[in-house]
Structure 1
Amino acid sequence: MTDQLAGTGTLLRLALRRDRVMMPVWTLLTTLLVVSMPGALGSVYATAAERARAAASMNANSSMRALYGPVFGDSLGALTAWRGGVYAAVLAAVMSLVVVVRHTREEEESGRQELLSAAMVGRRAPLTSALLAALVADAAVALLVAGGLAGQGVRGALALGLAVAGTGLLFACTAAVAAQLTESARAAKGIAAAVLGAAFVLKAAGDAGTGGGRSALTWASPLGWVENVRAFAAERWWVLLLFVGAVAVQAGAAYVLAGRRDLGMSFLPSRPGPAEGRLGTAGALALRLQRGSVLGWSAGFLVAGVVFGGMADGAADLVGDNDRTREIIERMGGQGGPGVLTDAFLATMAGMFGMVAALYAVSAVLRLSGEESGQRAEPLLANAVGRLRWAGGHLAVAFGGSALILLLAGLGLGLGHGRGLGAAIGATLAQLPAVWLIGALAALLYGAVPQYAAAAWAVAGGVLALGWIGPALNLPQAVLNLSPFAHLPRLPGAQALDWAPPTVLTALAVALTAAGLGALRRRDMIA
């Protein structure tokens, strides 16, 4: 067994070095989401009576329970666990599954693992080092969350930190199993992400139907375990044992599967294509490669739009006469007429959809980097396919897919709200210039400095964090203006539509995309 783990320490150091930027940034963003909550919530609900009324209102609203889960206490710590616990766990899960797939299946797919395995590297060392890398990141999240919330209660802070880290490690093991089953890193990430999405749906369905987290559907989801730890509200420490058991079972399965397959092989091989290709253009190939991602994002945005649209009319009732909450929502969503708060809520949701769509745009653009580093672009470019045609096909999918998912998000908002379908669609499509600008920045980085193309993720994540928690932290407008989304009209509800900012952002997106394509045309391809 020792021989099979030979080289684990060296591979772990290599993994941590490769992720020396991504891991700290993601860890800090996840932690900031949680530790910023007590201050923001304290400014909104200054007294115990206000917090008790807010908790009762949230628990009485099925849509809010589906979105955030039930509230188990009226302290600032309990409200923090309610508002940010599950979403911090989701972020930790995404970070962990990306880390594990990157250092297992992606290494095999690129051929680098075969070179490493020719040296003194044990059979199970790559899987072990990847899981340990995820463990390091999740442990850092646990320590930072526990330390940042210790002022609200040490026991509750530790329980929440362990629950968030436990979720991350659990989905790291899910990704480890998926990496053994599939031949491609993209498919492994897709399987792990689909399991995470199903976990959120199960939790939401259970919480919407039964208050207090008692539903069997809630308990069937690891994200439901996070809320049922009940941090800052008579902690249930035994729930953490569920994470331990799930991690042990999945890690064991991953090790068994890893020992029964050859390097580079999988248990779910890809189907062979037709003897004669049916795709005549580079754009058609790009669409074929990315259609699964487009369909998945489209379905998610449509469903989320319906859910948030159904909550719009209840926004005023939930806020009541709390001026601070009204100020935060209106700061995020702008001003309106008689239905100011409802319009502001819809505008806020449209902005959030736009910021999340920027993550899709970056992912779709950076598919170019994956095709190049995986040496799948070289055979295409060796034929009568120019670089601009090849890259243009993927960029068309990225920018066109962004428009599609925002269109469906607006459709969902309108259908969920029950009125104002055109206004809801217009509100989400108004986010496109900022989404395209971030996608264009990713294209520029890939074309000019491909080794730093992943920095586009940091930009998109920073914009999302700024828009998500910036208004609640009452950051200066000059700081909020660093996000391109801050310059877009707040629809619905804007008194006058100023076309200048969207036009400028679109022109910048076009210029950056052109510069990226020009740089790609001149540079050498990755060998």
Structure 2
Amino acid sequence: MSTLTGTRHLVRLILRRDRVLLPLWVLLLALLPMTYATSFFELYPDAAQRTAYATGPATNPSIVALLGPVYGDSIGALTAQRGGFLTLIIGLVSLLTVIRHTRTEEEAGRRELLGATVLGRHAGLAAALLVTYAANLLLGLLTVAGLVATGLPAAGSLAYGLAAALAGVVFATVGGLTAQLTETAGGARGIAVGVLGVAFALRLVGDTAERDWVSWLSPLGWAPRIRAYEGERWWVLVLPVVLSVLLAALAYPLSVRRDLGAGLLPPRLGPADGGLAGPFGLAWRLHRGQLIGWSVGFGLLGLVLGGAAEAAGKAVEGNAQVEEILARLGGTSALAEAYLGGTLGFVGLAAAGYGIQAALRMRAEEVAGRAEPLLATAVHRFRWLASHLLFALAGPVVVLAVAGLAVGVTYGLGVGDVPGQLPRMVGVGLAQVPAAWVLAGLAVLLYGLLPRLAPVAWGALAACVLLGQLGAVLELSQWLLDLSPFTHTPQVLGDDWTATPLLTLTAIALTLAATGTAALHHRDLPTT
């Protein structure tokens, strides 16, 4: 029997399990560059405006730190820089996908059951990588088609699309490698995300400190150096391909040098007395790593966004159309604050992702068989659910407060008014909380009523992102835009706003969570 026997069947199984989630993230990430290009066509139709932007705000250290360098002043070059952050997102989604279908399957015991059939030792890793590679390739091709449809040159579009796809391929392989190192999915994710963070830090240091050689050490630094639309350097595409082959060549031998369900790194021993202090202590143990990681990430993002605010305001001075659009986003005529109002709204969408993840941890505990023994003790279902719900609701508050705090510090330092800007920016961040709670409440509702459909909450988040990014471009009807809770979040930087929408969203979120809690109380456990 070959070590790859059964790979085709596992590929079909993965595609069946991810038939909703996989197309969602592929389509979403493929559509975003097209919206960037469309926006640049509308907002900077004049070559002089594009040149002023490319030589001024686009080279601001904070903008470069977040998006990467800009090479040229064409619409394509500006689009390539604006889409630079997407390579980080694509890499994150890719590594999480591979770990989910490798280490998570082992941790849940399903890989051992499959291994008892006619299945090669390498089949599981190969299937996960093949599906993720194919998804990234499809994402790249759809990105190319979308950019060409907006009127951008085909060669530059192909370079950008392949660069984005290969960034996903690299970090998918990183996920496959880290899945061999630890015996838990959480540990594998932690190592892989750490590698991604180091890659981002190397790219950031190299681009902002003008040390180009440092950026070449990072897979995230290769994508902009292809120089899409500005004299493409096709040979750079060889680098992610070679690195992926090397990482895969290391991952496959490691997968057969360890016991099934074990990792190469020895597990860390826990405290002798457990120290869990009930279901809330256990929930803290399960959620604390993610909460700390998300808080640190939001803090760093807030520092970058706050530092880029003044540059974003200067980027559109004299362009009446852009000023009007940004003023609507931020609820004020001050363009820097309009930028902050709009970007913190997008940060709120990311915080909703944390809320969904925390809420669905209950589903993961149930599927893994850990919830049933726990609830067989004196622990009541409500206390168990409340312990996880606490993090689903309090988590977005913490990470958005951290983001607002970081934005307030850096923006306040820039304008010389930290005491005045700090509470305002924290308020802008916290204003996104009720909308994030609605999606977390939806996840609880689905888990309580229809646990198999609980991951649909991620689809709802993707729909909110699409409506926010494409609603204005596609001129969608207002009733459709109103389906997103983030549409109803007031722009609190303006003078004319009311707390009524926030209270309404909070009531909806609590109703959804309460209904899900009641449904869980009356259904059997476990339910698959």
Q: TM-score range by the shorter chain?
A: over 0.9
Deviation at 1:477, TM superposition (A): 4.2
Deviation at 1:181, TM superposition (A): 0.6
Deviation at 1:495, TM superposition (A): 1.4
Q: Is the 8 A contact 2:203 2:215 kept in 1?
A: yes
- 1:68-467 maps to which residues of 2 (within 5 A)? 68-84=67-83, 86-150=84-148, 151-210=151-210, 215-336=212-333, 340-418=334-412, 419=418, 420-467=421-468
Q: Distance in 2 between the 1:206 and 1:396 partners?
A: 40
Structure 1 residues 87 and 473, CA, compared in 2 at 3 Å: closer, same or farther? farther
3-state DSSP of counterpart to 1:5: coil
Opposite residue 27 of structure 2, the aligned amino acid is L
Q: Is the 8 A contact 1:205 1:217 kept in 2?
A: yes
Deviation at 1:109, TM superposition (A): 1.0
Q: Distance in 2 between the 1:424 and 1:108 partners?
A: 44
Aligned residue in 2 for 1:13: 12
Opposite residue 384 of structure 2, the aligned amino acid is W
Q: Deviations over 1:417-453 (max 9, x none)?
A: 1231111111111111111111111110111111011
Opposite residue 216 of structure 1, the aligned amino acid is W
Q: Distance in 2 between the 1:158 and 1:315 partners?
A: 28
Deviation at 1:390, TM superposition (A): 0.6
Structure 1 stretch 45-54 or stretch 469-478: which is displaced more? 469-478
Q: Distance in 1 between the 2:55 and 2:125 partners?
A: 46
3-state DSSP of counterpart to 1:319: coil
TM-score (norm 1): 0.95
- CA RMSD after TM alignment: 1.7
Q: Distance in 1 between the 2:479 and 2:49 partners?
A: 31
Deviation at 1:169, TM superposition (A): 0.7
3-state DSSP of counterpart to 2:498: coil
Aligned residue in 1 for 2:33: 34
Q: Distance in 2 between the 1:37 and 1:159 partners?
A: 16
Opposite residue 89 of structure 1, the aligned amino acid is T
Deviation at 1:228, TM superposition (A): 0.4
3-state DSSP of counterpart to 2:183: coil
TM-score (norm 2): 0.95
Q: Distance in 2 between the 1:346 and 1:152 partners?
A: 29
Count of residues in Structure 1 that have an aligned counterpart in Structure 2: 518
Q: Deviations over 1:129-152 (max 9, x none)?
A: 111011110111121112222342
Opposite residue 12 of structure 1, the aligned amino acid is V
Q: Distance in 1 between the 2:321 and 2:181 partners?
A: 50
Q: Is the 8 A contact 2:57 2:311 kept in 1?
A: no
Aligned residue in 2 for 1:56: 55
Deviation at 1:378, TM superposition (A): 1.7
Q: Which runs of 5+ in 1 are unaligned?
A: none
Q: Is the 8 A contact 1:331 1:471 kept in 2?
A: no
Q: Distance in 2 between the 1:78 and 1:60 partners?
A: 13
Q: Is the 8 A contact 1:362 1:438 kept in 2?
A: yes
Deviation at 1:65, TM superposition (A): 1.3
Q: Deviations over 1:82-106 (max 9, x none)?
A: 111x233223222321221121111
Structure 1 residues 407 and 204, CA, compared in 2 at 3 Å: closer, same or farther? same
Q: Distance in 2 between the 1:88 and 1:229 partners?
A: 15
Deviation at 1:205, TM superposition (A): 2.2
Q: Distance in 1 between the 2:400 and 2:442 partners?
A: 19
Structure 1 stretch 117-126 or stretch 146-155: which is displaced more? 146-155
Q: Is the 8 A contact 1:73 1:233 kept in 2?
A: yes
Structure 1 stretch 175-184 or stretch 186-195: which is displaced more? 186-195
Q: Deviations over 1:97-132 (max 9, x none)?
A: 122112111111111111111111001111111110
Opposite residue 260 of structure 1, the aligned amino acid is R
Q: Distance in 2 between the 1:66 and 1:116 partners?
A: 45
Aligned identity (percent) is: 45
